[in-house]
Structure 1
Amino acid sequence: MNSSIMKTDTFYYILINLCRLSPPRCPMWFIVFMLITMSLKVTESQFLVKSLPGFYGDLPFTLETGYVGVGESELFYYFIESEGNPKEDPLLFWLTGGPGCSGFSGLLYEIGPLTTNYATSTLEKPVFEINPHSWTKVANIIFIDQPAGTGFAYAKTPEAYMTNDTLSSIQAYIFLKKWLVDHPKFLNNPLYVGGDSYTGIAIPMIVQEIYNGNEVGEGSHLNIKGYLLGNPLTDTSGDYNSRIPFAHRMALLSDAIYKSVKENCNEEYLKIDPNNSLCIHDLQVVDKCLGRIRKANILEPYCDTSNIFRAFDKQWCRDDNYAFAYSWAKSRDVREALHVREEVSDIEWVRCNDSLSFDFNKEVISYTHDVLSSVGYHRRLTDKHCRALIYSGDHDMVVPYLSTLNWIESLNLPVVDDWRPWFVEEQVAGYTMNYSNDHYDLTFATVKGGGHTAPEYKPKECLNMFMRWLANDYL
């Protein structure tokens, strides 16, 4: 290793540990300086995957997998070229939520070109088929396992598994820069950063850094055009506190219960005064009403999900679908086909790593929620030439559309197209609004019947929404 790279890696190591141990002492100008001075080494490994266990015949799309080293972390990715015109179609950098949920989850269950054939699959032998509503029909997509400990991503040291919102966003940005250094043919493609759920915290931070990097001439210019977020966690307190008014609107709470809890808790349901006995009592009543409602989609059955491999002998449960991914990804044949490194051969693949995942009611093991709200990043992006698509499944009680609308309205953007339905095949697919100033444009859309997250529940409608938004067509 030459001396310049050794100095860069040492500098990176010091910075990363500073950010990990003391996020407030990790200023963005320092990060930008580090990124300007660091040597962007090429991707350490990349492989074309022409066939996969569980899919009959050769893959009818171009799939590349590989690792990109970012400091002490080795981040795994799946890259799928557009089925349309890869040279000109947009490049979408997609982050799955959690944090700690694998990019394969977004690929298989949301917007990727494969889906499970449930009629012919068994837990021992999952079978895949083509997803007719894949977003790769109109975009090149990078799905990433990030941070380390997610999917097939790993770290070289135990300390590198400890991370937070700030550090995770920095690593994702560095990953993208390094990936594009190694794939220069996509540098001129329109670039969008997208994701759902918890990535609502990280993505505005990443997009801000892309614009900042371009402005200071930091390496190759990235052709950033905008970002998109589905069911996004954005403001920790606001998103949580919107669950009770959402439940009231959806007839899960009576007017009397809602009025009482609203008054006694003063609309604060996350940070409860332990001496406020009236609020505590009302929340116990609320819990009786909502305790067995599935928050990801309030219309679907509530199930015990403690054992993903439990026998499917009762009513169907959404989590039953995820069991096929677990059994598939643990296979040695699959790992060889994907060119997964031996360093993770003994690690059990999980769709979402609980030691990283954020929950309002528990303290996570390896991930610190150090950015409580990303609204300020959205606000700063309104000064950029930028497009945004924010969409919400309207039956999602994890991050209700009410809270998303609240923070969008707090940006004080002019409304250019007020609340109205949007259609797919002459049926109402949801409702939409459009906001715009001289350079920033934001489209908000609900997806009727969608849950957390919308493409898993309404794939046809979401593909239609994505295609029309990309093309600047009327939603």
Structure 2
Amino acid sequence: MRVYVQVEDTRDMLKIRSFARSTMKLQSQSHQQHRNLVKQFKNMVLFVVLFLIVSLEVIESRFHVQTLPGFVGNLPITLETGYIGVGEADNEQWFYYFVESEGNPEKDPLVLWGAAGPSCSTLSILMGTIGPITFNKTIPTSEEAIFEINPYRLTKWFVDHPKFLNNPFYLGGVSYNGILVPMIAHEIYNGNEAGEYPQINIKGYFIGNPLTDIHDDYNSRVTFVHRVALISDAIYESTKENCHGEYFNVDPNNTLCLHDLQVVFKCLERINKENILDPICDTLDTFKNSHLFRRSLASFKDNWLLPQAQAQPCSEDSSLLTAWANRRDVREALHVSEVYDKIKWERCNDSMVFDYRKKSKSYTYNIASSVAYHKHLTYSNCRALIYSGDHDTKVPYLGTLNWIKSLNLSLVNDWRPWFFDKQVAGYTMKYSARDYNLTFATVKGGGHQADSNKFKECSSMLTRWLSNNAL
């Protein structure tokens, strides 16, 4: 079984270890009602989704969900929802979904999965990408919003039942979790080494299109858009020469560089940054700040916001999910506390959008790079999978390859294709050092969240990797 967990707030990223450990302790205490949810995907994974809700009220609950509005009949999966208190006073509540493995729950790997963030909800994963349920796209309204079982599911996060303590445990996530996951993994390994209880049987971590080093990831974007023919050779060479290869921290007096960057911005103004092959979605106001493209250095960094900063691509599923999640009968079915009746569910929390010019009221962004944590983990008995949709402009695979190279690992297998359904699904390399090994893979045609637009390929990739099989 495997566990996937979605982290929604950076302020609590390092509480996850204590959350996991305390939850396991609570599991062994029969008088406690707090439980972590576990969700498993067919044949090997537990699936858990968490929502952080700050409240002074401690909510103790655990519910088995047998039916959902929009799904005909009883759910063919074990779905549990509830609240778990985090912190010494339990005054921060995590709302969770737990789906039990459909394979062998007693032996399948556990995966704690994190989706994009730090501001986005995992409900869209549970209902939209690699979760056990997906929309029937032939249904046009949220009132019908008929769901069907996802034949290519994984399922996501766990940290609850002590009987799973011996199961292999993995951390996973995408996008902004490139900052969180290696930090959390590092904490868990350190806790195990220090003899903290309970000992977590962590085996490794995996991250998709991970924001890892702000400077290097962002600086790779100009090179990437040239490589995929979004800017010409002449524009690229001029920009590279005048900016001296530095496109992130630009000298405000370097007018030639600023001019070239404006030319680059103009070429990209109507390009979907998450997947260059997808259309722009004006209806979601993706480019409400598009006027910034016409400004100079003052807005330069705003044009290349953190992965969570721009609206998602056009998607009927997104609007259907928003309408569905805010229905009273849905909230009742999921056992969402009435305390939060006046809070509207949104896919992403715009108040947590990162802006270089303003100090966020919601969280503090103080980690510019997580590369050091990856380096520390190379001294652990640890497996890592880093994968990248190769059509993502927000966190291009080129920047990812650069920080992987900085780890000074030995190359085990050089660049080669990997396959799904007898077709090339991407390309992969493998590295190692001591008891640590890292697999890098591209997902051909994948975007910033490759598990969404290439979910069959990603499901196969993760299943094979978690099973210790080569891609």
- Asked if 1 retains the 8 angstrom alpha-carbon contact of 2:219 and 2:247, the reply is yes
C-alpha distance in structure 1 between counterparts of 2:282 and 2:257, whole Å: 28
> What one-letter code is carried by the residue in structure 1 that aligns with 2:228?
M
Look up the SS of the partner of 1:348 in the other structure: coil
C-alpha distance in structure 2 between counterparts of 1:342 and 1:451, whole Å: 37
> What one-letter code is carried by the residue in structure 1 that aligns with 2:121?
S
Q: Which moved more, 1:194-203 or 1:298-307?
A: 298-307
Taking the TM superposition and a 5 Å limit, the aligned residue runs for 1:166-245 are 179-180=159-160, 183-245=161-223
Match of 1:65 among 52, 57, 81: 81
Taking the TM superposition and a 5 Å limit, the aligned residue runs for 1:45-444 are 45-71=61-87, 72-136=91-155, 141-142=156-157, 179-180=159-160, 183-306=161-284, 318-358=314-354, 364-444=360-440
C-alpha distance in structure 1 between counterparts of 2:78 and 2:434, whole Å: 39
- Asked if 2 retains the 8 angstrom alpha-carbon contact of 1:121 and 1:127, the reply is no
- Asked if 1 retains the 8 angstrom alpha-carbon contact of 2:25 and 2:198, the reply is no
Provide Cα deviations, 1:124-175, integer angstroms capped at 9, x if missing partner.
4322111111013xxxx22xxxxxxxxxxxxxxxxxxxxxxxxxxxxxxxxx
Shift in Å, 1:329: 0.7
- Asked if 2 retains the 8 angstrom alpha-carbon contact of 1:53 and 1:334, the reply is yes
1:59/1:226 CA distance change after superposition, 3 Å: same
- Asked if 2 retains the 8 angstrom alpha-carbon contact of 1:77 and 1:103, the reply is no
- Asked if 2 retains the 8 angstrom alpha-carbon contact of 1:355 and 1:367, the reply is no
How does the TM-score come out when normalised to structure 2?
0.80
> What one-letter code is carried by the residue in structure 2 that aligns with 1:47?
F
Match of 1:4 in 2: none
Provide Cα deviations, 1:383-425, integer angstroms capped at 9, x if missing partner.
0000011101011111111111111111010010000000112
Provide Cα deviations, 1:31-81, integer angstroms capped at 9, x if missing partner.
999999999655232211111111111111111111111133111111111
Gap runs ≥5 in structure 1:
1-18, 143-175, 309-315
> What one-letter code is carried by the residue in structure 1 that aligns with 2:72?
Y
C-alpha distance in structure 2 between counterparts of 1:77 and 1:53, whole Å: 18
Match of 1:163 in 2: none
Shift in Å, 1:434: 0.3
Shift in Å, 1:378: 0.4
C-alpha distance in structure 2 between counterparts of 1:31 and 1:124, whole Å: 36
> What one-letter code is carried by the residue in structure 2 that aligns with 1:371?
I
Q: Which moved more, 1:325-334 or 1:32-41?
A: 32-41
> What one-letter code is carried by the residue in structure 2 that aligns with 1:68?
I
Shift in Å, 1:435: 0.4
C-alpha distance in structure 2 between counterparts of 1:418 and 1:361, whole Å: 42
Look up the SS of the partner of 1:389 in the other structure: strand
C-alpha distance in structure 1 between counterparts of 2:17 and 2:450, whole Å: 34
- Asked if 2 retains the 8 angstrom alpha-carbon contact of 1:125 and 1:328, the reply is no
C-alpha distance in structure 2 between counterparts of 1:209 and 1:361, whole Å: 31
Shift in Å, 1:106: 2.0
Shift in Å, 1:93: 0.7
C-alpha distance in structure 2 between counterparts of 1:96 and 1:380, whole Å: 24
Look up the SS of the partner of 2:93 in the other structure: strand
- Asked if 1 retains the 8 angstrom alpha-carbon contact of 2:24 and 2:198, the reply is no
> What one-letter code is carried by the residue in structure 1 that aligns with 2:75?
L
Q: Which moved more, 1:191-200 or 1:113-122?
A: 113-122
Shift in Å, 1:100: 1.6
Match of 2:29 in 1: none
1:31/1:421 CA distance change after superposition, 3 Å: closer
- Asked if 1 retains the 8 angstrom alpha-carbon contact of 2:62 and 2:83, the reply is yes
- Asked if 1 retains the 8 angstrom alpha-carbon contact of 2:65 and 2:333, the reply is yes
How does the TM-score come out when normalised to structure 1?
0.80
1:33/1:203 CA distance change after superposition, 3 Å: closer
Q: Matched residue pairs, number? A: 403
Match of 2:50 in 1: none
Larger fraction in helix: 1
C-alpha distance in structure 1 between counterparts of 2:95 and 2:19, whole Å: 23
Look up the SS of the partner of 1:460 in the other structure: helix
- Asked if 2 retains the 8 angstrom alpha-carbon contact of 1:35 and 1:218, the reply is no
> What one-letter code is carried by the residue in structure 1 that aligns with 2:94?
L
Match of 2:293 in 1: none
Look up the SS of the partner of 2:350 in the other structure: coil
- Asked if 2 retains the 8 angstrom alpha-carbon contact of 1:98 and 1:357, the reply is no
Match of 1:155 in 2: none
Provide Cα deviations, 1:292-341, integer angstroms capped at 9, x if missing partner.
00011101111214359xxxxxxx96333211110011011111111111
1:320/1:33 CA distance change after superposition, 3 Å: closer
> What one-letter code is carried by the residue in structure 2 that aligns with 1:277?
T
C-alpha distance in structure 1 between counterparts of 2:320 and 2:214, whole Å: 32
- Asked if 2 retains the 8 angstrom alpha-carbon contact of 1:65 and 1:78, the reply is yes
> What one-letter code is carried by the residue in structure 2 that aligns with 1:456?
S
- Asked if 1 retains the 8 angstrom alpha-carbon contact of 2:110 and 2:169, the reply is yes
1:239/1:34 CA distance change after superposition, 3 Å: closer
> What one-letter code is carried by the residue in structure 2 that aligns with 1:64?
E
Shift in Å, 1:112: 0.5
C-alpha distance in structure 1 between counterparts of 2:106 and 2:23, whole Å: 29
> What one-letter code is carried by the residue in structure 1 that aligns with 2:262?
Q
Shift in Å, 1:467: 1.3
Provide Cα deviations, 1:95-141, integer angstroms capped at 9, x if missing partner.
112112112122223211111111123144322111111013xxxx2
Match of 1:11 in 2: none
> What one-letter code is carried by the residue in structure 1 that aligns with 2:403?
W
Shift in Å, 1:228: 0.6
